[in-house]
Amino acid sequence: DIQMTQSPSTLSASVGDRVTITCRASQSISTWLAWYQQRPGKAPKLLIYKASSLESGVPSRFSGSGSGTEFTLTISSLQPDDFATYYCQQYSSYSTFGQGTKVEIK
Amino acid sequence: QVQLVESGGGVVQPGRSLRLSCAASGFTFSSYGMHWVRQAPGKGLEWVAVISLDGRNEYYADSVKGRFTISRDNSKNTLYLQMNSLRAEDTAVYYCAKGRGPLEYYFDYWGQGTLVTVSS
């Protein structure tokens, strides 16, 4: 099974900050990686797929990069709506999620 | 617009069974793989199962293999999850999710979730 590890688990930041979340796979997954945002009590929302492709309707301040085993999600200028939990997901072999990164207000 | 509406959750005793449903609308249901994903209270996301667009192929997470069965009725645009031999660790919000394509294992639409609580 492919394991996904996100870091950090919690991130404190302010509006306007540049934020980066890292996701590592236990083996190469090429670019078969997605990122989701989940607000409390809501279903996850797809942000990025194939490591760097921005889902339609998602603001351009979100970007993804990486391949193989190391990936990043970057929010270029954090907005109030962005305080949420973010998950990476590999879909190279079935599906596995990372444990999540909570972005909270500093 | 795409809508996925889960139902069937509730409180159930350990060892008992429960069937979840997910009513789909706003897209051609029979053209997409469909998935169940769960989230235990305060925890992260766990992929549970997938079914192919024609229902012929199913795959499961090891944690539910042999106890859960995913199925679909394309004539009713409905996805199901039959959960048997339930355990306390199956307590979670269960989401149905639409695959981006017939064979895609990432999800562009999710339902609102239905809570399953396994407790005596």
pLDDT for res B83: 98
Whether B105 sits inside 8 A of A1 (CB atoms) is: no
A91–B contact, CB cutoff 8 A: yes
Strands A96-97 and A85-90: antiparallel
Cα–Cα distances (Å) from A43 to A15, A36, B111, in that order, read: 24, 10, 7
Looking at residues B34-53, what average pLDDT do you find?
97
Provide CB contacts within 8 A for B60, sequence distance 6+.
B48, B49, B68, B70
B111/A49 touch (CB, cutoff 8 Å), yes or no: no
User: What residues of chain B lie within 8 A of the CB of A89, using their CB?
Assistant: 45, 47, 106
Give the number of other Cβ atoms within 10 Å of residue B96's Cβ: 30
CB contact under 8 A, A87 and B110: no
Distance, CA of B84 to CA of B66 (rounded, Å): 9
Q: Please judge whether A95 and B108 are an interchain contact, meaning their C-beta atoms are less than 8 angstroms apart.
A: no
**Does residue A106 carry a pLDDT above 90?**
no
> Confidence band (pLDDT; 50, 70, 90) for A63?
very high
Q: What is each CA distance from B82 to B4, B38, B79, in whole angstroms? A: 18, 14, 10
Round to whole Å and give the CA distance between A61 and A75.
5
Output the pLDDT for position B102. Answer: 81
